[in-house]
């Protein structure tokens, strides 16, 4: 897969997160995708588990935004690392900023693994 296509797929994934559109997210993930928050010991597998995680994220915030992306793409075309800023607006109106890194690995033209390295509090908890 071309570097530009991989990067666009990452942007589509984050657009889905920011717009609370699970279909856009799943357009980028294999049905058996493994999603890990490496910094907090969370591992989820499959769309149902991943959807639950995003439902919890969205319910605990007014909104989330991802921007200021910096990509490093594997020249073999099988993965990409991306550093970015996260802004979370809490229900009390306060804003929380983070600098995170995600590593995406391709399988079957979609991401088969997402590994998250998150600064601060875990907003992608496996359960609450």
How many Å apart are CA 42 and CA 39, to the nearest integer? 8
Residue 68 resides in a domain: yes
Residue 127 resides in a domain: no
Residue 23 has pLDDT above 60, yes or no: yes
Residue 7: CATH number of its domain: 3.10.450.50
Per residue in 106-119, pLDDT (tens digit) is 988 999 999 999 88
Q: Which domain holds residue 101?
A: 3-117
Residue 126 resides in a domain: no
Residue 123 resides in a domain: no
User: Contact 12/89 with Cβ under 8 angstroms?
Assistant: no
Q: Which residue has the higher pLDDT, 121 or 114?
A: 114
Q: Into how many domains does the chain fold?
A: 1
User: Mean per-residue pLDDT for 81-107?
Assistant: 95
Name the percent of the chain lying above pLDDT 70: 92
Per residue in 44-68, pLDDT (tens digit) is 999 999 999 999 999 999 999 999 9
User: Mean per-residue pLDDT for 84-110?
Assistant: 94
Q: What are the DSSP calls for 4-56, one per residue?
A: HHHHHHHHHHHHHHHTT-HHHHHTSEEEEEEEEEGGGTEEEESHHHHHHHHHH
How many Å apart are CA 98 and CA 119, to the nearest integer? 6
């Amino acid at each position: 897969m071309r570097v530009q296509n991989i990067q666009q797929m990452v942007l589509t994934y984050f657009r889905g997160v920011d717009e609370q559109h699970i279909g856009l997210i799943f357009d980028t993930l294999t049905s058996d995708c493994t999603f890990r928050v490496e910094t907090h010991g969370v591992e989820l597998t499959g769309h149902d588990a991943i959807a639950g995680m995003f439902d919890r994220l969205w319910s605990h915030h007014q909104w989330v935004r991802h921007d200021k992306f910096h990509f490093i793409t594997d020249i073999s075309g099988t993965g990409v690392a991306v550093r970015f800023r996260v802004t979370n607006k809490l229900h009390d109106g306060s804003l929380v900023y983070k600098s995170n890194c995600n590593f995406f690995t391709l399988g079957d033209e979609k991401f088969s693994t997402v590994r998250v390295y998150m600064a601060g509090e875990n907003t992608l908890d496996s359960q609450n």
